[in-house]
Amino acid sequence: MNKDPYYKKAKREGYPSRAVYKLIEIDDRFRIFQKKSRVLDLGASPGSWSQLALERTNGLVVAVDLALLKIEGVKFVQEDINLEETRKKVKEKFGYFDLIMCDAAPKLSGISSVDQARDMELCNSAFLFAEAMLKGGGDMVIKAFQGEGFKEFFDSIRFRFRVCKCFSPKASKKHSSEMYIVAKGFT
């Protein structure tokens, strides 16, 4: 039985995963959700972030993931976020977004250098979505593993936003190398 208090709380409150509490902390601190916002959730499975985005914005929420996702009120695109064709498809169908968020993680191999490289690929893919579909003044939240390439990635995106911060939510596991990049005010 899972003894993690965030896991238990998520199940009690009807969320698919504990990751929702990380996003709640991010929103409470940085105010990323606005009423009627258009939100794109990349690597959305199992759906907690999409569910919370819909609750907090009551706007359009589009989720993209390889795994099938069914959340009432959320539009779903079952595609690979690393592919240019996916970006084109999402842009053609839904246009521009106020917020793009990505809590995706690579399939872990157990080889840290390989896992870090795969994570940086996901982060770069999320940023390509932002460059293609984020409205001027829009916001972005991306989970990234701290390690090789993290600083370079952060430096490459921070010049495209008025504010760009690293944030580690209390809901993250203590031993985790994950860090959330919260970027506000896309230019």
Compute, in degrees rounded to 10, the torsion defined by CA atoms 131, 139, 145, 117. Answer: -10
Check 70, 143, 165, 170 and give the catalytic one: 143
Q: Is the pLDDT of residue 174 over 80?
A: no
Lowest mean pLDDT among 13-17, 94-98, 151-155: 13-17
Give the pLDDT band (50/70/90) at residue 2.
Answer: low
For helices 112-133 and 84-94, give the axis angle rounded to 10 degrees: 30
Q: Give domain status of residue 50, yes or no.
A: yes
Active site residue 143: yes
Give mean pLDDT, residues 25-30.
97
Query: Is residue 182 in some structural domain?
Result: no
Q: Is 6 helix (H, G, I), strand (E, B) or coil?
A: helix
Buried b (16+ CB within 10 A) or exposed e, 154-170: beebeebbeebeeeebe
Residue 33 maps to which CATH number?
3.40.50.150
Average pLDDT rounded to a whole number, residues 97-113: 91
Give the domain extent around 61: 5-177
Is residue 72 in some structural domain? yes
Residue 139 pLDDT > 60: yes
Query: What residues contact residue 101 under an 8 Å CB cut-off, 6+ apart?
Result: 23, 32, 39, 40, 41, 42, 49, 53, 140, 141, 142
Nearest to 100 by CA among 36, 30, 43, 19: 43
Query: Average of pLDDT values for 167-181?
Result: 86
* In a domain? residue 118: yes
List Cα–Cα distances, 163 to 28, 85, 100, 130, 153, in angstroms.
16, 30, 15, 15, 15
Q: Is the peptide bond before 169 cis (omega within 30 degrees of 0)?
A: no
Question: Looking at the domain assignment, is residue 185 inside a domain?
Answer: no
How many domains does the chain fold into? 1
More confident of the two residues 174 and 157: 157
Residue 183 placed within a domain: no
Residue 126 lies in a domain: yes
Query: Is 184 inside any structural domain?
Result: no
Q: What is the pLDDT of residue 71?
A: 92
